[in-house]
Amino acid sequence: MPGAITKPYEQRSRFEEKVARTLTNPKGETRVQNARTPLHLLNGTITPAGQHFVVAQSGAPDIDPAKHRIAIHGLVKQPLVFTLEALARYPMVTRTTFIECGGNSAPLFSPTPMQGNLQALHGLVSCSEWTGVLLSTLLEETGIDPKAKWLIAEGADAPTLTRSVPLKKGLADAMIALYQNGERLMPANGYPARLLLPGWEGNMSIKWLRRIKLTDAPGMTFPETKTYSQLLPNGKAYQFYFIQEVKSFITHPSPDLKMSGPGFYEISGLAFSGDGKIARVMVSADGGKSWAEAALQEPVLDKSFTRFRLPWRWDGSPAILQSRAWDDQGNVQPTRAEFVAARGELKAPLSLAAFPNQHFNAITSWGIEANGEIKHVYA
């Protein structure tokens, strides 16, 4: 029997339709819209563009690339405005990097382990190959006033979201990204152009980028003062956290992926650091009493998802799986106890969709029960 007709743009098999993002605001009510990546149902290191997580304050604007402009001004020698057509003629670079929401993993601030799958607990991180023009290339043409220390980036969405970024980062590796995994950006990921700040808090990688202003001080905008500031146990708060610190979690096995009897399993997961390359991942099957080093899947790239794997034979008795990552800059993923000692935990659990606090990167534990069920546990 002949098969299906080949389409101009291929869709995945109808048997895979359940592999999808979970939405917190599917009707577009007057509040933020979140879409979480089904990390436990994907593999490898690249997130398909349609599965990339989204946090959109007010939905994706519908931007005609022919009409879009990006202005660079402020403490520059010559303010300039670029069309997308002009940007297409600039030297481009391609790099793989993850983007993680500062609020990813927020349910783990709960004092008791909240039950949810990997998507619900850690689904606000994704990794893509991005192609675009380095911001430094454009700043060479505008020139930089020596007084400039920051840049304020602004999106073309309804609230024209703005974030202040140290110019040092803007010159180090910031990109105006035009392509995601080889094709133009998805609308909800910033079409037709977004700022990309590898390894830094996702909200700072301004989507639908329309303006960059060089300044001598930060703008102290709403997201960088109120929203993305992290309360501490002493009543003070961190601000300008910037870096998504070294983190890992096991994707397989994980909640929702019930074990089908004793025998061989590959323990596999993702590790990443906003500060460098993953150097080492250790895995425990006994809640941290003993550890074994996992194999890192090549290529291991700077500020990117690294897939780790370890063969394991499950004997059918209760087990607690954990992973812990190190990066090449000397940073180590904290244990939960270390993290809570420094950052605190809530007095009572909130909902899985709540964002009580941010920048959680401690070890995650999966408890495997004798019947093969997998639960989120603290160990």
Q: How far is the CB of 142 from other proteins (least distance, A)?
A: 7
Q: Helix, strand or coil for residue 120?
A: helix
Among 276, 359, 289, 290, which residue's Cα sits nearest to residue 325? 276
Round to whole Å and give the CA distance between 368 and 338: 24
Identify which of residues 95 and 359 has a Cβ nearer to other proteins in the complex. 359
Nearest CB to other proteins, comparing residues 168 and 258: 168
Phi-psi region of 140 (alpha: psi -120 to 50; beta: other; left: phi over 0): alpha
In the complex with other proteins, the residue whose CB is nearer, 122 or 213, is 213
> How far is the C-alpha of 48 from the C-alpha of 52, rounded, in Å?
6
CA dihedral (195, 198, 202, 205) in degrees, to 10, reads -10
Q: How far is the CB of 119 from other proteins (least distance, A)?
A: 22
Minimum separation from the CB atom of position 76 to other proteins (A):
10
DSSP structural state of residue 110: S
| Residue 79 Cβ vs other proteins, minimum distance, rounded to whole Å | 5
Give, as one character, the DSSP assignment of residue 200. B
Q: 198 vs 367, which CB is nearer to other proteins?
A: 198
Q: How far is CA 245 from CA 69, 294, 306, in A?
A: 33, 20, 14
Owner of token pair 């606000």: 124
Collect all residues with Cβ–Cβ distance below 8 Å to 194 and sequence separation of at least 6: 176, 177, 185, 205, 206, 207, 208, 209
Shortest distance, CB of residue 30 to other proteins, whole angstroms?
Answer: 5
Least distance in angstroms from the C-beta of 293 to other proteins? 29
d(CA 73, CA 55): 27
Nearer to other proteins, 277 or 343 (CB): 343
Smallest distance, Å, CB 176 to other proteins? 12
Cβ-based nearer residue to other proteins, 108 or 310: 108
Nearest-5° angle of CA 300, CA 123, CA 290? Answer: 60
Cα gap 118→252, rounded to integer Å? 10
Say if residue 356 is exposed, middle or buried (CB neighbours under 10 Å; 0-12, 13-18, 19+): middle
Least distance between other proteins and beta carbon 117 (Å): 24
Give whichever of 61 and 253 is closer to other proteins, judged by the CB atom: 61
Which C-beta is closer to other proteins: that of 158 or that of 370?
158
